[in-house]
Amino acid sequence: MKFDRLVRVGLVEDYADLARLGHVSRVRVTQIMGLLNLATDIQEEILFLPKTVKGRDPVSAREVLKLGAIEDWEEQRRGWERLQA
């Protein structure tokens, strides 16, 4: 959300600038920005997921990015529930 605001207010020109500043690829920035397409309640739940201290995260970034590609928020919510089960 902060990255999006930086672009909208003109503090950075575009995602390529964000990538350079963050020392990551433009693809990674685009993936991160794709998370803005998630239903707001899912975004909030992701922000407050507990820290994984051992083993793998219960939900992978790949799975969450796939949800962000779904336009229907209700369908996203059903997918999110399946991921958490």
- Say yes or no: 46 and 78 in one domain: yes
- Judgement on whether residues 46 and 79 belong to the same structural domain of the protein: yes
**Mean pLDDT value across residues 61-72:** 93
Q: What is the pLDDT of residues 15-48, one digit of tens each?
A: 899 999 999 999 999 898 899 999 999 999 999 9
Question: pTM of whole model > 0.75?
Answer: yes
- For residues 41-71, b (16+ Cβ closer than 10 Å) or e, as one string? ebeeeeeeeeeeeeeeeebeeeebeebbebe
Structural domain boundaries enclosing 60? 39-85
Please indicate, yes or no, whether residues 30 and 61 belong to a single structural domain of this protein: no
Query: Quick one: 66 and 31 in the same domain?
Result: no
Same domain? For 14 and 47 the reply is no
Give residue 3's pLDDT.
86
In this structure, the answer to whether residues 78 and 46 fall within a common structural domain is: yes
Total count of domains within the chain: 2
